[in-house]
Structures are given as structure tokens and as C-alpha cells.
């Protein structure tokens, strides 16, 4: 087979894969602009009615902003815990660092339903269910590994001689970290923050088990699907997708900036 035919075949295969992955979104977006009160495809008429409901109805808008609030709190905790954990594992040569790293990222591998069930049993035993603090802590458990993975990868690519040079010049450990290590890790930390935010913002399974009467946006969508099923769920889903795409874009920009910074430092060195 000629190289030209190979390229054409690969391009067609790539387009087919992209279509397969994006087809649910292509189907969902028109539903969110449907004038009808039922989910029907194709839409009978085009309207922003359900987006107005999403942002003006107290239950929907409250669920949206609650999800944002929880996501921000989870992000702050995850960045602090995840960055410190990554530094401890990668920089301080802890005994069994490989095992510790594996345990730290276990929530990415263990089925979500298992984690949710374990949290439900623990928090029920402690009588901590139906608490915003409990929900933040539960989301943090599954969000921290994203920060650990991203920051650990950045630390492995970071030249330690720069930090040692700063200490030789008189900077203490904290000053060296703040002036050298932290700026170099900033893109990775930002990317980890984006991933941790959306790990919380998009979560349904853990929220379903531990939230009780607290209703986040994914849980509001789930409840509406079971009880009413109007196009507001499609509008809410599209808003979540749009926010996720923006977050992934920011994470990619941060990653690219980090790679450029690393190449520049290596070239200067």
C-alpha cells in the first residue's frame, strides 16, 4: 500500500473515531435548544428557553452554583495535598516511594462505586452524611490523585541542579521552593487544579451516596431524568460540557507553557 493511501486510511479512521466519540454531544446540543417541553429530536422549534430555566430557576441555578462552590473548595484542598504529596514522594526519597505513589493514585483505578460505598459506610458510621463538609472531603479523595500524577510528572522533568544552585547561592529550602521550584511547577499545578475541579464538578456516584439532601448539578440532572425529563437536563449537560472543554483548554495551555519553559531552561543550560 502506498504512503498516500495509508495517510488517507488513517485520516478516515481518525474521523470515524472522532465522530463516534462526539456523536452523543452532536445529538445532545440540538435537544437543549428545543422549544418543546419534551425531549424530541430533531427539535420542533429552536429556543433558548431551557437555558433561561437553567439560570433562573432556583433549584437548577442553586445546584449549578453549589457544584461550582464545592469544586473550588475541592480544588484548593487537592492542590495543597496533592502538590505536597508529590514533592514528598519525588524529592525526599521516602522508603517505599513507588508503593506510596501507587496507593496515592489508587482512587483513579478503583471502581467509583467501590469508593462511594466505602465512603457511605464510613460517614454513616460517623454520622457525617448530608453535610457539605463531608461532600467536599469525599470529592477531594478522588481529586487529589489527579494533582499527584500531573505534579509528579513535572517534578521528574525538573532539573534539580537549578534548585541546588539556588541553595548554593544562599537560598534556604523554603526560599528555593518559592522562587525556583514553585514557578517551574506552576503550569502543572494549574493543570492539576483543572482536573481536580472537574473531577468534583462532574461527579455523580459519590455524591449520590453521601450527599443526602444536598443537590449538586449532576445529581439534579439525575433526579430530573428519573422524575420529569424535560430539555433543561440537556441544557445543563451542555453547560457542563462547555465548562469542561474550557477547563481542558486551560490545562493544555498550561501544559504547553510548561514544556516551553522546560525547553528554554534546557537550552540556556
Question: Residues 178-201: pLDDT tens digits?
Answer: 667 777 788 888 889 999 999 999
In Å, the largest CA–CA distance within the chain is 71
Helix (H, G, I), strand (E, B) or coil at 202: coil
Where do the H-state alpha helices sit in 202-231?
Answer: 205-210, 217-227
Sequence-separated (6 or more) residues with CB below 8 Å from residue 181: 87, 158, 163
Q: pLDDT by residue (tens digit) across 118-152? A: 999 998 888 888 889 999 999 999 999 999 999 88
Element (H, E) at 234: helix 232-268
Q: Binning pLDDT at 50, 70 and 90, where does residue 87 land?
A: confident
Peptide bond before 42: cis, by omega within 30 degrees of 0?
Answer: yes
Which pLDDT value is given to residue 264?
65
pLDDT for position 41: 73
pLDDT tens figures, 46-70:
888 889 989 998 999 999 999 999 9
What confidence score (pLDDT) does residue 103 get? 85
pLDDT at res. 247: 81
User: In the chain, pLDDT over 70 holds for what percent of residues?
Assistant: 85
Averaged pLDDT of the chain:
83
- Compare 27 and 218 and report the one with higher pLDDT: 218
Residue 160: its pLDDT value, please?
A: 66
Q: Which fold has domain 51-268?
A: MetI-like fold (1.10.3720)
pLDDT band at residue 170 using 50, 70 and 90 as cut-offs: low
Whether 268 shows a pLDDT value over 60: the answer reads no
Residue 256: the pLDDT is 74
Round to whole Å and give the CA distance between 80 and 100.
Answer: 17
Give the pLDDT score at 1: 59
**Cα–Cα distances in Å, from 127 out to 121, 140, 142, 155, 176?**
10, 19, 21, 40, 44
In angstroms and rounded to an integer, the radius of gyration of the C-alpha atoms of the chain is 23
DSSP string, 82-125: HHHHHHHHHHS--TTHHHHHHHHTGGGTS-HHHHHHHHHHHHHH
pLDDT of residue 89: 83
The 3 state secondary structure assigned to 22-50 is HHHHHHHHHHHCECCCCCCCCCCCECCHH
Question: Exposed, middle or buried, 169 (CB in 10 Å: 0-12/13-18/19+)?
Answer: exposed
Amino acid at each position: 500500500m502506498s504512503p498516500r493511501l495509508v495517510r488517507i486510511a488513517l485520516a478516515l479512521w481518525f474521523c470515524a473515531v472522532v465522530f463516534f466519540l462526539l456523536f452523543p454531544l452532536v445529538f445532545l446540543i440540538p435537544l437543549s435548544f428545543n422549544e418543546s417541553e419534551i425531549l424530541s429530536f430533531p427539535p420542533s422549534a429552536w429556543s433558548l428557553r431551557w437555558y433561561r430555566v437553567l439560570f433562573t430557576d432556583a433549584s437548577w441555578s442553586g445546584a449549578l452554583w453549589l457544584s461550582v462552590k464545592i469544586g473550588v473548595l475541592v480544588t484548593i484542598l487537592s492542590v495543597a495535598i496533592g502538590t505536597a504529596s508529590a514533592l514528598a514522594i519525588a524529592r525526599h526519597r521516602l522508603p517505599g516511594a513507588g508503593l506510596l505513589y501507587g496507593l496515592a493514585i489508587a482512587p483513579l483505578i478503583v471502581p467509583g462505586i467501590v469508593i462511594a460505598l466505602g465512603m457511605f459506610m464510613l460517614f454513616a458510621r460517623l454520622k457525617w452524611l448530608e453535610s457539605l463538609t463531608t461532600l467536599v472531603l469525599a470529592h477531594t479523595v478522588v481529586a487529589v490523585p489527579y494533582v499527584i500524577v500531573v505534579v509528579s510528572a513535572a517534578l521528574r522533568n525538573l532539573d534539580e541542579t537549578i534548585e541546588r544552585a539556588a541553595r548554593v547561592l544562599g537560598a534556604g529550602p523554603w526560599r528555593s521552593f518559592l522562587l525556583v521550584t514553585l514557578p517551574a511547577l506552576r503550569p502543572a499545578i494549574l493543570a492539576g487544579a483543572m482536573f481536580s475541579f472537574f473531577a468534583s464538578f462532574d461527579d455523580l456516584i459519590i455524591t449520590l451516596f453521601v450527599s443526602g439532601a444536598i443537590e449538586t448539578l449532576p445529581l439534579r440532572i439525575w433526579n430530573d431524568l428519573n422524575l420529569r425529563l424535560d430539555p433543561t437536563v440537556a441544557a445543563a449537560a451542555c453547560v457542563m460540557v462547555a465548562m469542561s472543554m474550557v477547563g481542558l483548554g486551560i490545562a493544555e495551555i498550561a501544559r504547553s507553557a510548561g514544556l516551553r519553559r522546560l525547553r528554554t531552561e534546557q537550552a540556556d543550560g
